[in-house]
Chain A
Amino acid sequence: EVRLVESGGGLVKPGGSLRLSCEASGFTFSDYTMNWVRQTPGKGLEWVSSMDYGGTYVFYADSVKGRFTISRDNAKNSLYLYMISLRPDDTAVYYCARDGAAMITDFWGQGTLVTVSS
């Protein structure tokens, strides 16, 4: 069974930092491109960042470029998102999600809530 379990969310002050983790199981993690996608309160889904299976190709949404860093440890079946200079509009549920074939995001974790507030 494919499982993605996010952790690391919480309450942080504006300007603060946070690291999210996603632990994968049930599939060969090192074969898949992985993503972070967020859902902001009252709004919809926003793709945040992607990293290919080997960590070579990395992409970010303009809204987080320069502030967020995606990384992975294939030996630990884990994906990470390091977030700095957090702003109130970064408040969201952050999902770890797997790409199947051709960048189709086919499986999502349960999400972790990040709240940026003073």
Chain B
Amino acid sequence: DIVMTQSPDSLAVSLGERATINCKSSHSILYSSNNKNFLSWYQHKSGQPPKLLISWASARESGVPDRFSGSGSGTNFTLSISSLQVEDVAIYYCQQYFRTPRTFGQGTKVEI
């Protein structure tokens, strides 16, 4: 199985400041045929279902604020929140869909 490891486990950021979450995969999730990274980022707020923010490592979903951005390739990826808002308090997960079983990182809790 591909192991996804996030860092840090938790993060406290001031309002308006940048939050950066890292995700490392145990195996490259870059598919050479199309040069795409099979990685998604999800936001999970308490009492709500997870919400897809970013797919293909850097493609923001429709309606997701542009303060959220994804980057990286191969085995190392980053989710950045450029200016943290109150509504961004949540747990963030990366997930690889390169190979079954699709595995998640352990999650990063973002707080103000």
Give chain A's interface residues, CB within 8 Å of chain B.
39, 43-47, 50, 59, 61-62, 95, 102-111
Task: Let me know if B50 and A59 touch, CB within 8 A.
Answer: no
Interface size class of B (residues with CB under 8 A): 20 to 34
Select B100's contact among A45, A50, A107, A111, beta carbons within 8 Å: A50
Task: Let me know if A103 and B97 touch, CB within 8 A.
Answer: yes
Residues of B with C-beta under 8 A to A39: 44
Cα of A109 to Cα of B48 in the assembled complex, Å: 9
Task: Let me know if A108 and B50 touch, CB within 8 A.
Answer: yes
Select B101's contact among A47, A104, A109, A111, beta carbons within 8 Å: A47
Cα of A61 to Cα of B25 in the assembled complex, Å: 18
Task: Let me know if A45 and B107 touch, CB within 8 A.
Answer: yes
Whole-angstrom distance from the CB of B63 to the nearest CB of chain A? 12
* A6 closest partner in B (C-beta): B49
Cα of A106 to Cα of B50 in the assembled complex, Å: 9
Task: Let me know if A104 and B49 touch, CB within 8 A.
Answer: no
Q: Top 9 A-B pairs ranked by shortest CB distance? A: A108-B49, A103-B97, A44-B107, A45-B104, A47-B102, A104-B55, A44-B106, A59-B100, A106-B52
Cα of A44 to Cα of B106 in the assembled complex, Å: 5
Cα of A62 to Cα of B29 in the assembled complex, Å: 21
